[in-house]
Amino acid sequence: MTPGPHPSLRRTLGSPPFVALALALVGCARSSSVHSGSQISDREQPRYVAGPVYAFVNGNWLSDGAFTQRTFYSVNGVLQSTAPAQLDSTIDLGGGFVIPPFGDAHTHNLDGARNIDQIINAYMREGTFYVQVLTNYRSGADQVRGRFNRPCTLDVLYANGGITGTRSHPFLAYEPRALGIYQFDQWRARAAEIWKSRIGEGDVYWFVDSQSDLEAKWPKILAGGPDLLKIFLLDASETSVPPPADSTLKSGHGLKPSVVPAIVRRAHAAGLRVAAHVETARDFEIAVDAGVDLFAHVPGYEMDPDAAPGSVLISDAAARKAGARGVVVIPTASLTSLVPGRADSAQVAARRVDLVRQNLRTLMRHGVRIAVGSDWYGQTAARELAALNRLGLWDSRQLLDLWSETTPQSMFPRRRIGRLTDGYEASFLVLRANPLTDSTALSTITTRVKQGCIVHQGI
């Protein structure tokens, strides 16, 4: 597959976007419901399809951090430990180790029909059943939504267009492509044309610079049917103005802080969670105070090499507030390595890793939940899990819990997923090896079951 431009980075017209893209070309790893946060009621329950009643025998099932051999039954897509009155088939799991499936809480994949089968199959092979797309073309999502959110395939949430300030990220991640501009030398030569263009507005981004902008555009934002919303703060400033057509300037500061609370209030009233792109500690504080539900990054993941480290370190006060409010943070730690065009790239990446580690320690000390999200276009979540492992903050059981329990539950908090017990959805993976003792076990999946359906697609 050929990944497109990496949408996560705050681009400048003066830096080569495809240098970072080249680092991402590593190949894939081996009914649309709105499920909102605990303070917001769900719109829909997950859809099930009545299928065969299975008995799954001779499996070691994960429960409370340990594996126990037992039998579970799948009845109408739900697990139960008591034998049903009628049984259609018995499946011997061969002594395998049974765990919940994984989630990718931050991606830009599945945004339209291009390469979609390859990406779906990559997620299925990996064992990732739950995917959250944090900024996408609404028109692209509309092309493919019908393929998801049912047994046997992925459950996918779409944020649709990101809400930001004029000419701010994700504008430069998408607008050049909309104009057919893919080469870096063309970016500079056609900078003024890019800045003036608005092809993606109302589809993959929304410019909101004031309360009146929000008032005017809000009905159209909701009309797109997003499953959640994505907002952008980039060293947010109340006095920032849209950058002019100058190829050396960064793409703005995102939303003005005063607009953020109004967006969050409106979103929550509409039953939608809000995810925030943040880059500084101040951005984090603004978003926490506004009531944001989840963070698409942890500050420091892509810190400007010339910035003061203190500008990205989250305070205990902000972390305490985030923990009390049940906020979820997606670190995107693997992005720390993206330092194109610098001789000291290894040192910059190491500094970023240290800052991310410090921030995660602060957040976890105050009970903030951490979820796994890749944010690598064309990639699945395994790369991010490996980056989190390298931080040394979790043992193998805790990492497994992050990926298979915390992450899916953070995306679909009202659904009974992420655990293997009575009344939970019959969705699980069977491994040949014990993932608590064997570092290669997660790549030994033998069986995939999604809501009582034996998954064969792409395997």
The whole-number pLDDT of residue 177 equals: 87
Residue 45: its pLDDT value, please?
59
Mean pLDDT of the chain: 88
User: 330 lies in a domain?
Assistant: yes
The pLDDT value recorded for residue 50 is 63
Quick check: is 67 in a domain? no
| Residue 447 lies inside a defined structural domain of this protein | no
Comparing 52 with 1, the larger pLDDT belongs to 52
Q: Which of 22-36, 114-128, 164-178, 342-356 has the lowest mean pLDDT?
A: 22-36
Residue 300 forms part of a structural domain: yes
Q: Is the pLDDT of residue 148 over 50?
A: yes
The CATH number of whichever domain residue 307 belongs to comes to 3.20.20.140
Alpha helices in 234-280 (DSSP H): 260-269
What pLDDT does 149 receive?
95
**CA dist 226 → 35, 141, 170, 204, 230 (Å):** 11, 10, 17, 12, 10
What is the pLDDT, as a whole number, of residue 201? 97
Q: Is residue 248 part of a domain?
A: yes
- Convert the pLDDT of each residue in 163-213 to its tens digit: 999 999 999 899 998 899 887 778 778 888 888 899 999 999 999 999 999
What's the rounded mean pLDDT across residues 214-224?
98
Q: Which residues contact 425 (CB under 8 A, 6 or more apart)?
A: 46, 77, 78, 79, 415, 416, 417, 451
Is 405 a domain residue?
A: no
Least confident of 180-189, 370-379, 429-438: 180-189
Q: Are 271 and 248 in contact (CB under 8 A)?
A: no
Give me the pLDDT at residue 306, please.
81
- The answer to whether 157 and 31 have CB atoms below 8 angstroms apart is no
Number of domains in the chain: 1
**Bigger pLDDT: 2 or 100?**
100
H or E stretch at 188: helix 184-189
Q: Give me the DSSP letters along 110-166.
A: S-SSTTHHHHHHHHHHHTEEEEEESS--HHHHHHHGGGSSSTTS-EEEE--SEEEST
State the average pLDDT over residues 391-414: 97
Quick one: DSSP state of residue 404?
I
259: in domain: yes
pLDDT range class, residue 40, cuts 50, 70, 90: very low
342 pLDDT tier (thresholds 50, 70, 90): confident
| pLDDT top residue among 74 and 190 | 74
Work out the average pLDDT over 16-30: 31
Residue 62 lies in a domain: no
Give the model's pLDDT for residue 282.
97
Q: What is the structure's pLDDT at 3?
A: 42
3-state SS, residue 81 = coil
pLDDT for residue 36: 39
- The parent domain of residue 254 ranges over 17-30+159-393
pLDDT-derived band at 244, boundaries 50, 70, 90: low
Q: Which of 17-26, 84-93, 269-278, 395-404 has the lowest mean pLDDT?
A: 17-26
pLDDT digits (tens, 9 = 90+) for 77-88: 999 999 999 999
State the pLDDT confidence band at 146, using cuts at 50, 70 and 90: very high
| Cα distances (angstroms) measured from residue 149 to each of 103, 204, 280, 286, 358 | 14, 22, 35, 33, 37
Please tell me the predicted confidence (pLDDT) of residue 339.
84
What is the reported pLDDT for 185? 74
